[in-house]
Structure 1
Amino acid sequence: METALYLPIKGFLEEAGYSVKGEVVGCDIVALSDGEPPLVVICELKLSFNLELILQAVNRAAFSDEVWLAARMSARGKGRESDRRFRDLCRRLGFGMLGVSDGGVVSIIVSPAAPMPRNNARKRSRLVAEHRRRKGDPTSGGGSREPIMTAYRQQALACAEALQRGHLRPRDLRAVAPNAPQILRGNVYGWFERVDRGVYALTQAGMDALKRWPPSPASDPA
């Protein structure tokens, strides 16, 4: 699966100085540089280089500064990474290509020619905000079939964990979840119920969620 490529690519980008997280707003990998505004790098993963990967990169180019295509290197050297036409197309579009060996070694096949233009400021802003709000890097990039651990879900789980100890008001939860009032009122996952005016309790669905995603200290507070 594409997720097997995630850690090698993550390590490659981290060595280049980026903060890297997987599955952010539909992108396999999002990497941010230090500074404000950050340089936004997106990398899409596939088991092999193909047209679909290029089409994904075209879509991502509208809200990033740099786009990379990453895939496993063909065992016999007959994959698209060996096709000069494919490499030339990536060069013309300004996309980089990264190849991952069976041993997890990452090689640069094509370097991005130039930073991509910023066209979709709204989506770019959403991408950066989700990356920064998410605690740690809980989801590997590459199309995991499990629910994505978004920043919203992380805050909802923090609320659920606190409500295990008894009924609470939204303001009591702000320390663990800044968006607690909206999360409790919206109750997207069905984890909470209002038992009195402005007072909430945990439902059975919320208890089940805590069993599925037991609390654990985040390794990366960003």
Structure 2
Amino acid sequence: MQETSLYAPVKRFLESLDFTVKGEVGGCDIVGLREGEPPVVVICELKLQFNLELVLQGVDRAAACDEVWLAARMSARGKGREHDRRFRALCRRLGFGLLAVDGKGKVELLLSPAAVPPRRDPKRRSRLVEEHHRRKGDPSIGGSTRQKPIMTAYRQEAIACAAAMADGPKRPRDLKLVAPRAASILLHNYYGWFARAERGIYALTELGQAALQSQGVLDGPPQVAPFQVEQLGAKLGA
């Protein structure tokens, strides 16, 4: 059993509480937003068992959200930390919610998160909310940090730029509809996918072509028909 197997049942549980849930946002296994002004932000960390490392992760995340949830697999014989009153008492003092997932994917609420005096990190919280809003769909499974690269909103926009350029060089303004940050993405060229063909015009590099092929967006040789934006949305989980 892997941490990623916990993602779907925990996501369903949080969605039942009216949160919009996405995996692997800003280094967190799960980030959920509930509409409001400001939105309610929850972070949930996943582990195969309840342990101190999971609690420490929760402590680290607490400044960036309104609620912290810790989720782990339910111990088969009922002897795990989730049944230890001291462990629950610690999580209660920290204000953390606890969720246990059994072998059939059923989620049991062990402890609801409680309001504690906030120690907020506004910048970190703002980055999480922005990334959650920008990311199309939910392309990354929570708990999958070892499966690189994570499909961030920035990477989605870079792929959108590359896909739109598959039929030839483009100007940044030609790409703004599919990637609002196109100018910055082309200029900084973080992934090495783009090259300046002439002033103000960019073309795909071999790395860019390979990236499209690895995503299944581009098949066959570089010379392809113009890319359809609707196709991109399907590929990226929109």
Would you say same fold, with TM above 0.5? yes
Letter in 2 for 1:194: R
SS in 2 for 1:176: coil
Letter in 2 for 1:217: G
Contact 2:95 2:113 survives alignment (8 Å): yes
CA distance in 2, matches of 1:178, 1:36: 24
Matching residue of 2:187: 185
CA distance in 1, matches of 2:95, 2:202: 51
Alignment match of 1:152 (pick from 154, 178, 181): 154
Unaligned runs of 5+ in 1: none
SS in 1 for 2:77: coil
Letter in 2 for 1:181: A
CA distance in 1, matches of 2:233, 2:198: 32
Letter in 1 for 2:156: Q
Q: CA deviation digits over 1:144-199, x for unaligned, max 9?
A: 32210000000000000011011110010001000000000100000000010011
SS in 1 for 2:71: strand
Matching residue of 2:233: 217
Aligned: 1:164 with 2:180:
no
CA distance in 1, matches of 2:195, 2:165: 11
Letter in 2 for 1:93: L
Aligned: 1:60 with 2:61:
yes
Q: Go from structure 1 to structure 2 and tell me whether the alpha carbon gap of 1:67 and 1:17 turns closer, same or farther (over 3 Å shift).
A: same
- TM-score by length of structure 2 reads 0.90
- TM-score by length of structure 1 reads 0.96
SS in 2 for 1:217: helix
Aligned structure 1 segments of 4 or more residues deviating by more than 6 angstroms: none
Matching residue of 2:108: 107
Q: Give, in angstroms, the shift of residue 220 of structure 1.
A: 6.5
CA RMSD of aligned residues (A): 1.3
Unaligned runs of 5+ in 2: 218-231
Alignment match of 2:178 (pick from 162, 176, 179): 176
Matching residue of 1:128: 129
Matching residue of 1:10: 11
Matching residue of 2:40: 39
CA distance in 1, matches of 2:212, 2:140: 17
Contact 1:21 1:30 survives alignment (8 Å): yes
CA distance in 2, matches of 1:109, 1:79: 13
Matching residue of 1:87: 88
